[in-house]
Structure 1
Amino acid sequence: MAPHRQHPAQFQLQLDHVNGSENKPRTIAQQLPPLSDGCSRLYLCRHGQTDYNMQRKLQGRGVNMPLNAEGVEQAKYLAKAMKDVPLSAIYSSSLKRAFQTADTVAQLHPKIEVQPFQEVEEMNFGKLEGHPMEVHKEEIHTMFKRWKQGEYNASWPGGESPMDVVHRGVKKITEVVSNTPPKEQVLMVTHGRFNKIVLAQMLHGELTHMTEIDQNNTCVNVIDFDHATQTYHAMALNNINHLPGPPSV
């Protein structure tokens, strides 16, 4: 696993002001600074909305829900925002909701075929999978408290711990970006809790900050990987300026 170093987001993606009145999302390629020498760029995204998102049900590695109608539209907005980015590859979790989102982006990059990976699937919530969060709120509160106290090996009953996700997820992401030549850019669509965990580890070197990282549906995290120092630099986190309305769950 690559060494890590804390890097706060250096660049906040903005809305374009048209004639001083109408706000329209600019494409991501128009907003970001150019890649530094020796760096590759990863666009790490969350999938679009599903019915379980709306119903506040736990949707982990064991739940393979497709996007709902709103999620399909969100994926289209993401694809439009990414259309001018010169991507060399598109990756995703092998779960439907992530693959559908990535495939929608790929439709505007016709020479690229989405490559799915099991290693970047959502955290496994064990026996809580598919259940309303409200039903298990005490268990969830207790688990989050243990994590906050540094018990990152604490796992859901029958499921995974944050460190389980780090071991499979950060390893795979590091493999992908290490094999992405400098100056090239790739996109990967994964999941909310997964992203919180791997971003905390990659950017801070530990998991203390994982509960502070928001991840809305189809958000874009722009992460530059320096091949010489083997470090990650956050250029933007949880960007949803491509969406026309307020964030979903």
Structure 2
Amino acid sequence: MNARWAGRRAGARLHLVRHGQSTWNAEGLLQGQTLHVPLSPDGVKQALTVAEALEREPVGEVWTSDQLRCVQTAELVAARHHLRVRRSVLLREQCHGIWEGTPVAGRAAVLAAADPDWAPAGGETPRELLGRAGRFLGALNAGAPHRVAATGPDVVVVSHGETIRALFAAALGLGVERMPTHIPVNGTVHTISPGPVPAEPAPLDHRTASRPEAERIT
């Protein structure tokens, strides 16, 4: 079962950040779990804008996927709070198997309409992705008492478009059928605030730190 985010009960917020534009985003290539794709020059600017947007928030931890485009984004955010970046493989992007490194065009619509238990050969299904997001939140919940007593209660998580959808659903206790359909664009912050979960959660609540052309798949 997916672990809801316990920080909602402790007055903390969860800031879900999609990494800045990568070089493969700019080239229109499907990245998935390809590790060493860096930020583009525009992506660095987006990451700096995200860091500025979160600078005054009471952030106690900054977590990131271990994929380079996220690490580079997270380091800029963490520097504003004098925090070290914590990495987790559980925050990696959804694996797209044999499709990784191929053009996004023609793939995005197939992935968006796919059955929750389907993936390209060697890839990860949406249901598996949601389970992975829940495992990350379970680990995050375990560290909540230390975090609230440290520099601040809020948590920043830098991840990828598909994974942020799954984290949002897991944090609110939603099933795979109710995962948001919206994939956040590069350089946006999606904040989950304390309070009761509504019967029909609204689409991802976000603040746009920059306004690049929408990237449908990371």
The match for 2:21 is 49
1:170 to 134, 144, 166: 134
The match for 2:53 is 81
Q: 1:101 to 1:47 in 2, by over 3 A?
A: same
- For the residue of structure 1 that corresponds to 2:155, the secondary structure is strand
For residue 117 of structure 1, what is the amino acid of its counterpart? Answer: S
Q: How does 1:207-246 map to 2 (within 5 A)?
A: 207-210=176-179, 212-224=181-193, 237-240=205-208, 242-243=209-210, 245-246=211-212
Give the TM-score taking structure 1 as reference length.
0.72
Q: Is the Cα contact below 8 Å between 2:3 and 2:135 reproduced in 1? A: no
- For the residue of structure 1 that corresponds to 2:16, the secondary structure is strand
Structure 1, unmatched stretches of 5+, are 6-34
Q: Is the Cα contact below 8 Å between 1:88 and 1:185 reproduced in 2? A: yes
Q: Is the Cα contact below 8 Å between 1:3 and 1:205 reproduced in 2? A: no
1:64 to 36, 42, 56: 36
| 1:39-69: CA deviation from partner (whole Å, max 9, x where unpaired) | 3221111100012112221111134301010
Q: How does 1:112-151 map to 2 (within 5 A)?
A: 112-134=83-105, 137=106, 141-147=109-115
Bigger CA drift: 189-198 or 122-131?
Answer: 189-198
1:187 to 149, 156, 166: 156
For residue 205 of structure 2, what is the amino acid of its counterpart? Answer: L
- For the residue of structure 2 that corresponds to 1:160, the secondary structure is coil
User: RMSD of the TM alignment (CA)?
Assistant: 2.9
Q: Distance in 2 between matches of 1:168 and 1:189?
A: 15
In proportion to residue count, which structure has more strand?
1
What percent of counterpart residues are identical?
26
Task: Report deviation, 1:214.
Answer: 3.1
| 1:143-196: CA deviation from partner (whole Å, max 9, x where unpaired) | 43332xxxx121221111111111222211232145223671111100011112
1:153 to 108, 114, 117: 117
- For the residue of structure 2 that corresponds to 1:146, the secondary structure is coil
Give the TM-score taking structure 2 as reference length.
0.82
- For the residue of structure 1 that corresponds to 2:192, the secondary structure is strand
